[in-house]
């Protein structure tokens, strides 16, 4: 019994020691671990590119194609092309059994030859009738013939002329019929109406074609040198998309390759699918390397605003000072910003004080390391599209101290924004906090992460 009591006492002592050690660790290291997990997320202001886009799904179509059909009935005897073949305009594509058409042509030619044989006889009859009139006129002058004989001779001339004219018109009618029959015979040989690639064959050799009511389609030829993208745009985004706007797209098999173009047209008639209203946007793209094929799926991006080689800051580091929602252009009142104010329309206005920066583009040019591309963007409004907006960031100095810094931002997306004034390349700002080794957005700020390298404060 004594041994059992000793063993239970030893186990109890071990439990007490473990509880003591755990409590001591919590007291001495728990707060420190929580401090490390909630360190500020720092990002470095760098020069890069930014764009604001509207995404849409689309499909690729040939810019120009034609369905080649049969204009005469008959059996499809021969196809001279296969799918994927490139054909020049005028190349022979197919041949239809032409025996019926050949027989009609032969019958029309024989009819014309018979009428032409009658033509010479009628011309001779007319000549004889005119000679008879002349003879009756001489006899009439000598008072040898009667008026009845003379009138009969005149009537014979008129009848001969009418018969000859009727025969000539019959010949013309037969020649027109022959031309029609010859055309029908030509239709049995089908030629390419344009240069392009055979993308579909609807009929096979030996098939009987019936072209009485409508022309049956044999194959389709498409010009794949230029493709047209048909993008489906939601009615919520259609107001921001205009003809001439920059656009690019990717394909599932394009390996991140981008094709760039401009919007050609927005079709006014929408397509309604499951109570969703979609408008079709069209734009063309050159396809000289034949990398694009019909019916490919395209992920389309309409560029509403962009800026190249500018200072960029993550949206998570910004606290906007006006009332406009992040990512929306120029709405609401604005508070003071660096060297100027933003008015009701969100446009940058320079203060008229002696310390004002003056022309924003000139101010940028005077400050080394600040957005050098802003002056060019200001002079070319088509590259931009977002009005300047005041915001505030938490700037971290080299010694680790923090201070609030007012900035002006231009083009912005859900991830980052263009810095027009207030920061320079190499500055560090707080873009969030590190929680459990992961980045989280700073409280009170909008946006998400940023692609720049991050460091803990003090490193």
pLDDT of residue 300: 95
pLDDT of 30 reads 53
Q: Could you tell me which residues come within 8 angstroms of residue 261 by beta carbon, excluding any fewer than 6 positions away?
A: 229, 247, 248, 283, 284, 285
* pLDDT score recorded for residue 382: 37
Q: Which of 448, 451, 450, 453 is nearest to 327 (CA)?
A: 448
Query: What pLDDT, on the 0 to 100 scale, is given for residue 456?
Result: 34
Residues 193 and 221: beta-carbon distance below 8 Å: yes
Q: Closest by alpha carbon to 263, among 237, 244, 235? A: 244
| In contact, 289 and 415? CB cutoff 8 Å | no
- Count CA atoms within 13 Å of residue 333 on its CB side: 2
How many whole angstroms from its chain centre is CA 121?
Answer: 71
* Cβ-contact 78, 93 below 8 angstroms: no
Residue-level pLDDT at 102:
92
Please give, one letter per residue, the 3-state secondary structure of the chain.
Answer: CHHHHHHHHHHHHHHHHHHHHHHHHHHHHHHHHHHHHCCEEEEECEEEEEEEEEEEEEEEEEEEEEEEECCCCEEEEEECCCCCCEECCCCEEEEECCHHHHHHHHHHHHHHHHHHHHHHHHHHHHHHHHHHHHHHHHHHHCCCCCHHHHHHHHHHHHHHHHHHHHHHHHHHHHHHHHHHHHHHHHCCEEECCCCEEEEEECCCCCCEECCCCCCCEEEEEEEEEEEEEEEEEECCCHHHCCCCCEEEEEECCCCCCCEEEECCEECCCCEEECCEEEEEEEEEEECCCCCCCCCCEEEEEEEEEEEEEEEEEEHHHCEECCCCCCCCCCCCCCCEECCEEECCCCCEEECCCCCCCCCHHHHHHHCCCCCCCHHHHHHCHHHCCCCCEEEEEEEECCCCCEEEEEEEEEEECCCEEEEEECCCCCCEEEEEEEECCEEEECCCCCCCCCCCCEECCCC
Q: How high is the pLDDT of residue 140? A: 82
Domain extents for the chain?
40-49+309-455, 98-187
Weakly modelled stretches of the chain, pLDDT under 50: 1-6, 33-35, 325-385, 442-459
Q: Give the length of the chain.
A: 459
Closest CA to 322 of 211, 446, 205, 230: 446
pLDDT in tens, 53-88: 899 999 999 999 999 999 999 999 999 999 999 999
Contact 191, 135 (CB under 8 A): no
């Amino acid at each position: 019994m004594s041994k059992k009591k000793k063993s239970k006492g030893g186990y109890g002592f071990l439990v007490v020691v473990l509880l003591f050690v755990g409590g001591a660790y919590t007291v001495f290291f728990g707060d420190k671990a929580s401090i490390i997990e909630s360190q500020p997320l720092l990002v470095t202001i760098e020069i890069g590119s930014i764009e604001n886009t509207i995404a849409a799904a689309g499909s690729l179509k040939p810019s120009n194609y034609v369905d080649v059909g049969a204009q005469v009935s008959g059996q499809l005897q021969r196809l001279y092309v296969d799918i994927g073949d490139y054909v020049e305009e005028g190349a022979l594509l197919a041949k239809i059994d032409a025996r019926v058409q050949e027989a009609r042509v032969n019958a029309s030619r024989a009819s014309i030859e018979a009428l032409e044989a009658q033509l010479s006889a009628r011309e001779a009859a007319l000549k004889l009738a005119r000679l008879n009139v002349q003879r009756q006129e001489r006899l009439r002058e000598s008072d040898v013939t009667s008026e009845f004989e003379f009138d009969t001779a005149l009537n014979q001339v008129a009848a001969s002329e009418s018969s000859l004219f009727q025969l000539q018109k019959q010949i013309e009618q037969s020649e027109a019929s022959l031309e029609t029959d010859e055309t029908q015979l030509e239709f049995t040989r089908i030629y390419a109406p344009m240069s392009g690639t055979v993308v579909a064959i609807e009929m096979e050799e030996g098939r009987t074609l019936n072209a009485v009511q409508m022309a049956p389609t044999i194959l389709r030829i498409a010009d794949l040198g230029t493709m047209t993208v048909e993008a489906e745009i939601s009615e919520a985004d259609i107001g921001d998309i205009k003809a001439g706007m920059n656009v690019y797209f990717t394909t599932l098999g394009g390996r991140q390759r981008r094709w760039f173009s401009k919007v050609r047209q927005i079709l006014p008639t929408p397509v309604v699918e499951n109570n969703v209203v979609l408008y079709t946007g069209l734009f063309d793209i050159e396809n000289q390397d034949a990398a694009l094929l019909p019916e490919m799926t395209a992920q389309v991006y309409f560029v509403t605003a962009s800026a190249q080689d500018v200072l960029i800051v993550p949206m998570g580091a910004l606290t906007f000072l006006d009332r406009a929602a992040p990512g929306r252009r120029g709405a609401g009142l604005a508070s003071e910003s660096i060297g100027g104010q933003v008015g009701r329309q969100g446009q940058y206005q320079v203060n008229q004080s002696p310390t004002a920066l003056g022309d924003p583009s000139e101010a940028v040019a005077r400050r080394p390391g600040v957005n050098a591309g802003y002056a060019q963007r200001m002079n070319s409004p088509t590259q931009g599209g977002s009005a300047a907006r005041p915001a505030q960031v938490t700037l971290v100095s080299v010694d680790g101290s923090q201070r609030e810094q007012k900035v002006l931002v231009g083009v912005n997306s859900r991830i980052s924004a263009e810095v027009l004034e207030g920061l320079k390349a190499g500055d560090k700002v707080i873009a969030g906090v590190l929680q459990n080794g992961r980045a989280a957005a700073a409280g009170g700020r909008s946006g998400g992460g940023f692609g720049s390298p991050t460091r803990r404060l003090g490193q």
